């Protein structure tokens, strides 16, 4: 859905200019126009996907509660267990701060790497 919105924002004149410059095939037009112009959309989608990938607390809490022999235990479930079940607030807070710090570092690296290739325009 987000990529469809990004596709509608691409100016059609860019395709004509790419064809004049030698981008005759559909693959050339995709490589030279479509993919670079979808850079901001791709950056947004990748960032949101990374954030959603680490938010897997609800399925674990509702379905398995850590699973048989901790097979489906994730970091957020461990933080919850430490803080609210075992009432060890200090270690739970430290794990939460470390988790947020690691996530921010990953997102900053990802933004810096992808932002070099993104053309806003």
Q: In the prediction, which pLDDT does 72 show?
A: 85
Residue 118, pLDDT > 80, answer: no
Residues 17, 20, 25, 28, Cα dihedral to 10°: -50
Say which residues have a Cβ less than 8 Å from residue 15's Cβ, sequence separation at least 6.
29, 33
- Residue 119 or 34, more confident: 34
**What are the boundaries of each domain within the chain?**
1-37, 39-121
Cβ pair 85, 65 in contact under 8 A: no
Tell me the per-residue pLDDT of 76-91, one tens digit each, with 9 for 90 and over.
999 999 999 999 999 9
pTM: predicted TM-score of the whole model, two decimal places: 0.64
pLDDT tens readout for residues 19-60: 888 878 889 889 888 988 888 888 889 888 888 888 888 888
Does residue 93 have a pLDDT over 80?
Answer: yes
SS3 28: helix
How many CB atoms lie under 10 A from the CB of residue 63? 9
What pLDDT is recorded for position 121?
59
């Amino acid at each position: 859905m987000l990529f469809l919105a990004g596709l509608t924002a691409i100016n059609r004149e860019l395709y004509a200019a790419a064809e004049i410059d030698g981008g005759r095939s559909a693959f050339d037009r995709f490589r030279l126009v479509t993919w670079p112009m979808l850079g901001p959309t791709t950056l947004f989608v990748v960032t949101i996907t990374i954030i959603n990938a680490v938010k897997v607390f609800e399925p674990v809490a509702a379905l398995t509660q850590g699973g048989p022999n901790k097979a489906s235990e994730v970091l957020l479930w461990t933080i919850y267990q430490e803080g609210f079940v075992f009432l060890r607030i200090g270690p739970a807070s430290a794990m939460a701060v470390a988790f947020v710090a690691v996530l921010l570092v990953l997102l900053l690296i990802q933004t810096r790497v992808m932002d070099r290739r993104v053309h806003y325009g």
